[in-house]
A and B are shown apart, each in its own frame.
Chain A
């Protein structure tokens, strides 16, 4: 509760939070079919209509309503981003925690494995994974998750190491708490702050990457609406139909901006070091 108040007081937390909420509502509307038109339905007579009363954001080359497609596209992007970040954060947290807890050989091995994954520029690693599994929604989810797992592992391992050597963990061990209890109750709960910040920033990055992969034709496949695909389709038409370029571009930017703003606010609130810098 106090956390929510702190976010509401923070200007970028307020704006970022509002953007995320609005986007989630839009995505939910699209999921329940509450779009002005069916996003896949082609109104052949109304092809490439500029924005007007019946099609607020115009229509595309096949006469599909852009408003509906954008709403569905937001939904698609959010599903990919949330699912992949969920995978990455769980896998990364488990790896980071185990690495810190088991120490020695385990720590060295796990962390070197993470280093290997981190040695690739993110988009290149994602491309490699897509080359193996073939383009598609699930592949991009897996690719984004694998790229982000080592980052979570690192974010978790550092603080986990320092918590492990605290007195209360020693105390818990001496009076016989199980390892699982200590790991979840004492370590994980204390890692919530850095994890939340990382999750928000990862979501921004995942949205961006999903769009980039779809743009390259390697993510979401047509006819499923996706912001990246719409931008890719707009490439050859942008002189005659600029709305095909502008609306998806702005939608994507504002969505990513929302998560970035929110993540920044969280970091300010949760991190004592930046709190000093702001004071």
Chain B
């Protein structure tokens, strides 16, 4: 069986496994959703009211049946109804997701804009002091948790400039792009900081590998100018591992947004998941975690397929 078919066959299987895991995990959470929703008022409910509420949210049936309803609902785009918001889960996710996606994309752009030039600079100045400095900074960047970066940014903004990044409700990218960007730029730097460091390290080592290859030596020997050798001959090949890294990291950016959204009080998907977990909103946690995992899986699948397109050796390998 070749690699691509194998990947395509296992994809729905893994997704099914993810859905089972999420479903079971949520039901293992202690406490019930109705008490979580109504708080102390839940004590005032008559048993009948409690039952009818439970059947309204579909949590009165045995697990396998609940799972089956949920799974068949997924195919119709019905992820259930959120207990806390009283709205369909999919609507809430789609409301929150654009912000998180934008944050992830913005931080990826920042990481690439900083990381690739820094990595290439370090590789072409290998073992010189400037290379060492880039490497040290990248190593430090990789060792800094994103919430530390976020806190330090807020600290320097408030103490150094007396301004606070605008927190809370976000301006729409389409209606007010400037306000939106000024609001997201610092969270994006926070989220992209460690990522920029890993891009730097990967592109440096990839570039070093490529620069040692025979065709680069040939290009140099026949008198191609250095700048052209680097950008035209070496760079495209050094880019392959960077592309892979981006695919893998993108999922982590979506996940990492939990903390950054929390620090900057942004109403994104990550913060919503955090709130939904503490409020025991089964349907919402279930739906949103599955949603993030699905995105993660799709991105990884696309990266794998892109990799096959680039490198024919993998196509036949299987392992």
User: Which interface class (under 10, 10 to 19, 20 to 34, 35 or more) fits B?
Assistant: 35 or more
Residues A253 and B143 in contact, CB atoms below 8 Å apart = yes
Residues B274 and A234 in contact, CB atoms below 8 Å apart = no
Residues A261 and B139 in contact, CB atoms below 8 Å apart = yes
Residues B140 and A235 in contact, CB atoms below 8 Å apart = no
A257 interface neighbour in B143, B146, B208, B209, Cβ under 8 Å:
B143
Given known contacts A120-B289, A128-B22, A131-B277, A253 and B259 CB-to-CB distance under 8 angstroms: no
Which residue on chain A has the smallest CB distance to residue B201? A264
| Distance, CA A245 to CA B10, complexed state (A) | 46
Residues A120 and B139 in contact, CB atoms below 8 Å apart = no
Residues B147 and A124 in contact, CB atoms below 8 Å apart = no
Residues A131 and B285 in contact, CB atoms below 8 Å apart = yes
Residues B292 and A121 in contact, CB atoms below 8 Å apart = yes
Residues A121 and B17 in contact, CB atoms below 8 Å apart = no
Q: Is the interface of B mostly helix, strand, loop or mixed?
A: helix
Given known contacts A127-B274, A242-B159, A212 and B147 CB-to-CB distance under 8 angstroms: yes
Residues A212 and B252 in contact, CB atoms below 8 Å apart = no
A122, CB-defined interface residue at 8 Å: yes
Residues B10 and A112 in contact, CB atoms below 8 Å apart = yes
Stretch at the interface among B23-31, B50-58, B168-176, B218-226: B23-31
Q: Which residues in chain A, 9-38, are within 8 Å of chain B measured between CB atoms? A: 12
Residues of A within 8 A of B296 (CB): 119-121
B182, CB-defined interface residue at 8 Å: no
| Distance, CA A132 to CA B28, complexed state (A) | 6
B46, CB-defined interface residue at 8 Å: no
A113, CB-defined interface residue at 8 Å: yes
How many Å from the CB of B233 to the closest CB on chain A? Answer: 18
A211, CB-defined interface residue at 8 Å: yes
| Distance, CA A119 to CA B21, complexed state (A) | 11
How many Å from the CB of B136 to the closest CB on chain A? Answer: 10
| Distance, CA A171 to CA B296, complexed state (A) | 44
Q: Which residues in chain B, 114-156, are within 8 Å of chain A measured between CB atoms? A: 139-140, 142-148, 151-152, 154-155
Pairs A-B, 8 closest by C-beta atoms: A121-B255, A116-B17, A257-B143, A256-B143, A131-B277, A132-B28, A123-B255, A249-B148
